[in-house]
Structure 1
Amino acid sequence: MIKEVRPDLVRQANAGSVEAQYNLGVLLSQEHSEHDHAAQAVEWYRQAAERGYAMAQYSLGVMISEGRGVPRDDEAAAAWFRKAAEQGHVMAQCSLGVLLVSGRAGTAADRSRAVEWLFRAAMQGCAEAQYNLGLMHTEGLGVARNDAKAADWYRKAAENGYAKAQCNLGMAYAEGRGVPVDPAKAAQWFYKAAEQGCADAQFNFGLMYCFGQGVPKDEHKAVKWFRLAAEQGDATAQCKLGVIYAHGRGVERDDAEAARWYRLAAAQGDAMAQCSLGVMCAEGLGVEKNAAEALEWYRRAAEQGYAMAQYAIGLHFAEGNLVPRDEAQAFDWFRRAAEQGYVKAQYNLAVMVAEGIGVKRNDAQALAWYRRAAEQGYVKAQVNLAVMLDEGQGVPRDASEARRWYQRAAEQGNVQAQARLARLEAAGNGPAAPRPAPLRIRLVRPVAR
């Protein structure tokens, strides 16, 4: 039994009342039982829609776009949305705009028409349309990109209580996009959206507490909001909780709990979580030590281009840890990470090229990789770069440039650089001391983003 009024409603619907046909469609589409009445709902909506009833036209479009009671057909859905939209149905105007901007209406995306329909709905106070207009101005879809206009539309939707718009307005204030940077206002809007259950806003509000931006720094409150987002399945928040438990920030350190959250995020494809879970498996932190599983998680992250995972695989091949030692493979993985700017990989790659490990020795290439790592402030690369310049390896000897890099390394407290710098100055750029041996790098624990 659907509702007590169903017999009367059916008689009215059969007698041709479009209102009854529509209402019967509503009841059937909302019915929760072991029987699916969606197909019947579609038929009643269709009868009213074909007689021009706008609410039925819109509802029929929704059913068709969702594939409920009928095969999904975005082109047909758009046609019904258009009929209702032309009669002034606000949600139909918004839904038609969304379909047109996505290109799901059977033709290429028609963004200019999408803007027109969204604007009509937005001007009638439709928060979803206002939010979508904000997105279009943010991305420059169908309109010129304009952060100020985007923020204005987000504000309209946010003031209407639309959570996604509140979150995006918070981001605008956090990053100064279209509005002045204002961490306090960012936190206020994140909170409004977070209270409505918006996972993105919950994560962002957690970050505000984590770094003390717009609110007093409070790691315990940060954990609360990260957890709320994570429990909704937000992979970024799950990964963040993994970091928090791995390092004991705002909670007692718990490697098993860290691994659990990393695993949840990793299963959703979060590359940082996959790499971090690989570290946990490789070192037996919170889980049983498992070389094969560690390598599998590293590979999943590395295949997404995650530099730390690429570096980790290279390190394991270089050391023969988890996998048989293979210097050529190590070189290849270090190179992938190095080309993305991962400084430890740049340094290790320079060492391998300088020493001819896994590749033909090439001083010029080694110098180039040392320089890239040195320019990022990596002290060991600064020392070896200075030595090569001092000795004229891969480049004509340049004592003044060597001194500059020794100085930068010495300022970071490197004893080798301090000693070499002192000798250079004492000898007036005389003969250099023997070249220091390459420095071995170890994989470090993942750090919080």
Structure 2
Amino acid sequence: MKKNIRIGAGAGYSGDRIEPAIELAEKGEIDYLIFECLAERTIALAQQLKMKDSTLGYDPLLADRMHAVLRICNEKGIKIITNMGAANPLAAVEKIKEIARTLGLEKLKIAAVSGDDVLTVVQDGNYLDDTGSLVTELGSRLLSANAYLGAQPLVDALAQGADVIVTGRVADPALVLAPLIHAFGWPMDDWHRLGQGTLVGHLLECAGQITGGYFADPGYKDVANLARLGFPIGEVSEDGSVIITKVAGSGGSVTAATCKEQLLYEIHDPAAYLTPDVVADFSGVTITEIGRDRVAIRGATGHPKTGMLKVSIGYVDSYIGEGQMSYAGPGALARARLALDIVAERLKIADVKVGEIRYDLIGVNAIHGSALSASNPEPYEVRIRVAGRTSTMKEAVRIGNEVETLYTCGPAGGGGATKSAKDVVAVRSTLLPHALVPTTVHYEEI
């Protein structure tokens, strides 16, 4: 067993940059490259694609990422672990096989982890979601139900020699925890090490956020060269302690401050972070800068897992219609306000039924509202936005149409109109006993 391993975070969300992952593979001297690409709504949207075409439903950038790093990782012995399988891990494996053959790779073992799709389970049971309603009440609006799997099936795949592991919905830290369990031989009930490993996974899961991305505030928190932001590397020891760093010369920075912000990101209770593998306790974590772009982090512990798995439920909630138009020059703000008044009255005349609607002056009151912006100087230019939530697509379309008609039926000087209408995929949650979510690992070899 190795005394320490290096894990690179190649993506923190589906649309993340690809160049930093290439940099990690080429220069990071890493053992594992992790791509974390699933947000809460992403898998429901992927399920919609799969319903239209059974060969789709995996991450739309999977092919681009694999073309970029698969050969490098194969040559260097770097294992890839990713949740880019989304709603269709098996189809993702077929796509990776196709890419591997195109690249001329001759030896590759790919594993697909499945079992997170529990749609039929929640449809057949009396499960309450986090609003207190029965999941079955969603009826035909229900799109997906995916349980957050833990590290065990990924550990199993690594034990069978998988070079690439593709999953659907797993807990984000599990993508990193699995190679730690495999590399160091941690028992699945060593709660303290699992807690520390979960901390490592949590620190790395958002990729560039811990190297200065989504952190900069000029004059207060300056970060150099964000256009070439380097993604993080975790140097992990057998006890689970970690040094966060990045490729030398890459953009961004790793400091105690960047690590603290990521540590607190999306954490409800730092002393009881619930995951499928462990209830992690981050309350005793210490963070120490030990060199430039090198931060040592340790001190997490853990307690036995709950035996329940969170299930993310995707459903069609409503429709949103939107229209925008710009006004500039003297009196721009007054003309923009008149335009919003006209649209508001038109929607009443047309009896467009909206459950929620916003009339925004972008650059004036769209974020903090009118009260905080009242004393600010009048802008030379302003853009109006009308956005409303409806129960039908037809009514959603009408909102954008009424904004567009301001060209001929509104105040002077409007331009740059845009409009859109779309369905809204929303998310709820429920819990399932772990025993109701069996997992399988499917292998393909080249």
Q: Same fold (TM over 0.5)?
A: no
- Measured against the shorter chain, the TM-score band is under 0.3
**Structure with the higher fraction of residues in helix conformation:** 1
**Structure with the higher fraction of residues in strand conformation:** 2
TM-score, structure 2 as length reference: 0.21
Larger radius of gyration: 1
Structure with more relative contact order (C-alpha pairs < 8 Å, separation 6 or more):
2
